[in-house]
Structure 1
């Protein structure tokens, strides 16, 4: 009898497996490849035993933990699978400033190094809308979740159309341009790719889209890709908060279906994360008790008056609680409030439906009641 071993399934095939969120996994770096002057593609090997844990949907992200000078830094990166490389994760990392993980990854990280990586998370995705026109708007490294989302939509639905608009400083800064050109060759009749170059030399021949992608520029883009308001057009936006906020406002004025506008923002900050303050004597007045459900386990913590957010209280005794940016942008610490009440600063990663359903970002939330129960698994 002849037998054969099936090749490993791509990490983005099928629904995500039962990812363990209670801590990171150590993954080996297999390749670090410069993409532009300040970005690099980092490829990680995923052992067979962790394939289900790291199975993901296009649009999801992972959190990477890095230790430097005794401080812990966590950063989130969209999973951007390398073409025809099953069993790997690829992250596109940008150097945003000195002392952060981006600087380390683009200047010192090398094959053979190991990174601590949490399993994929996030809800950013194109909607299941047969025959839709998917308009994807990326700013800078915001292309990294949108590129795999475009490929997934085109391969899943032969009746759909995709228009991808990428705002970059110059043509040399346009990430993944070669891969998008290959995808365009594969789906020449159904994929449109436009580049908006904000700092390109006017004499470079870049054309009328060589300008800032402000509200007026966004309206020109909608016209250029023949996007029409209504239930057949869906939008996905990823970039800095200023870009996504402007795009959402323009789309609302233009008449886009609110439920078909998805977005994810990111922060460019890359400095050391602020560690949680140590527990110490504190007056009873103003304290609160928070109970968190994570991976089916119950965790409790006391929120002290000086705690900036619920996250700080939880991290004192439960360092496995998920978080990354601490700015309400990445959404890693999203949890549902099951009982009690919280108040929170602006939470970029949540939309109106999330807020109405009772979700909060623990890095931005403070207690309004003495007892609060959160569910990270919801």
Structure 2
């Protein structure tokens, strides 16, 4: 999962909930919410209510140990629209061998999962009377549902429109909750389901979303380029790239477009992970001896990179095992930090936009050393 076009979070103040750490939470309920998808409700003790307080659209890291392996993944917090407190995650089976397989086939009420506190910047923009336009595919609907419910609840003058792309009606996640939210806000919440492998009553709603179809869908929802709507894109890379590029050509203000990725599925052969400089090999003689200092949850630690360390995250985990990360592929953005001193290089990454890179942010899972000393701030 990755997010861009967001405002950096403030440095945690003394006494505020930590960004990191693992908390064992017990599964209190599981229920199917779509084809091979399960909603997992976790029991949240009162003493952890503040720690797991979240903004609509944020996600948590989840880990479990199975057969000697650590399974780790990030998931959006997705409460039922009428609820404001608690912790529910929606997990879709993606294939054998990962956390999703365990969660959708073996996880049971009473089991424990280790969960890290909410993080992320893909959240509701508070703008009175705004038109919030959501475009999602597959599991991307989970943060969008939270954002939609929060916007409708907080601002009686706003409108929310959702374009939801899936293969078939059976594969739509949280379909009943979307329908209930629509019924509760008639005239303010509109939903268009576009199915790529199932014929619908309208040709516009049948097939894959492309550059020609998206503007027509927006027009059907009453969205015009000059409306200054707030746009939220979430799903696989292919859909997000297409929607982002189409919106820019259509005339939407890029500064009002936010996106979050759940996977690189659907990327075009020519698609480039961006923006960011290509990673270069470490300079000669700098395979070790580089000092990395990292501030995390108000505490600073220093470690020396070893020749076998591929990226700075490898070194940091030796001294700060709670350093946040999930995908290790520049996708989820969990290991986002600001470079205060020194320099790093990165190869492909999807989590940071041009403004964040210009402000000195990097991803520890993709950052290689480009100086003898590197100071990072995970609290920035």
Question: Normalised by the shorter chain, which TM-score bucket?
Answer: 0.7 to 0.9
Q: For 1:123-272, list aligned pairs within 5 A.
A: 123-200=121-198, 202=199, 205=201, 207-230=203-226, 232-267=228-263
Q: How far does residue 72 in structure 1 lie from its aligned partner after superposition? A: 1.6
> Higher RCO, 1 or 2 (CA under 8 Å, sep at least 6)?
2
Q: What 5-or-longer segments of structure 1 have no aligned partner? A: 1-15, 270-282
Q: 1:230 to 1:206 in 2, by over 3 A?
A: closer
SS of 1:230 mapped into structure 2: helix
Maintained 8 Å contact 2:81/2:146: no
Q: 1:64 to 1:244 in 2, by over 3 A?
A: same
| Distance in 1 separating the partners of 2:287 and 2:173 | 49
Deviation string, structure 1 residues 232-256 (Cα, Å, up to 9, x no partner): 2110000011111111111111111
SS of 1:323 mapped into structure 2: coil
SS of 2:226 mapped into structure 1: coil
In the alignment, what sits opposite 2:347? 345
SS of 1:243 mapped into structure 2: helix
- Higher alpha-carbon deviation: 33-42 or 206-215: 206-215
In the alignment, what sits opposite 1:72? 70
The alignment's TM-score, normalised by the length of structure 1, stands at 0.88
Deviation string, structure 1 residues 255-296 (Cα, Å, up to 9, x no partner): 111111010001279xxxxxxxxxxxxx97432111110000
SS of 2:263 mapped into structure 1: coil
Aligned pair count reads 348
Maintained 8 Å contact 2:81/2:181: no
Q: How far does residue 213 in structure 1 lie from its aligned partner after superposition? A: 1.3
In the alignment, what sits opposite 1:272? none
Q: What 5-or-longer segments of structure 2 have no aligned partner? A: 1-12, 266-283
| Distance in 2 separating the partners of 1:134 and 1:289 | 45
| Distance in 2 separating the partners of 1:229 and 1:268 | 28
In the alignment, what sits opposite 1:289? 291
In the alignment, what sits opposite 2:98? 100
| Distance in 2 separating the partners of 1:232 and 1:256 | 7
SS of 1:215 mapped into structure 2: coil
Q: CA RMSD in A?
A: 1.9
Q: How far does residue 22 in structure 1 lie from its aligned partner after superposition? A: 3.4
1:329 aligned to which of 325, 328, 331: 331
Task: Could you list the structure 1 runs, at least 4 aligned residues long, displaced by more than 3 angstroms after superposition.
Answer: 83-87, 204-207
- Higher alpha-carbon deviation: 52-61 or 301-310: 301-310
Deviation string, structure 1 residues 3-31 (Cα, Å, up to 9, x no partner): xxxxxxxxxxxxx9933233110101001
Maintained 8 Å contact 2:263/2:331: yes
| Distance in 2 separating the partners of 1:136 and 1:83 | 16
Maintained 8 Å contact 2:80/2:177: no
SS of 2:117 mapped into structure 1: coil
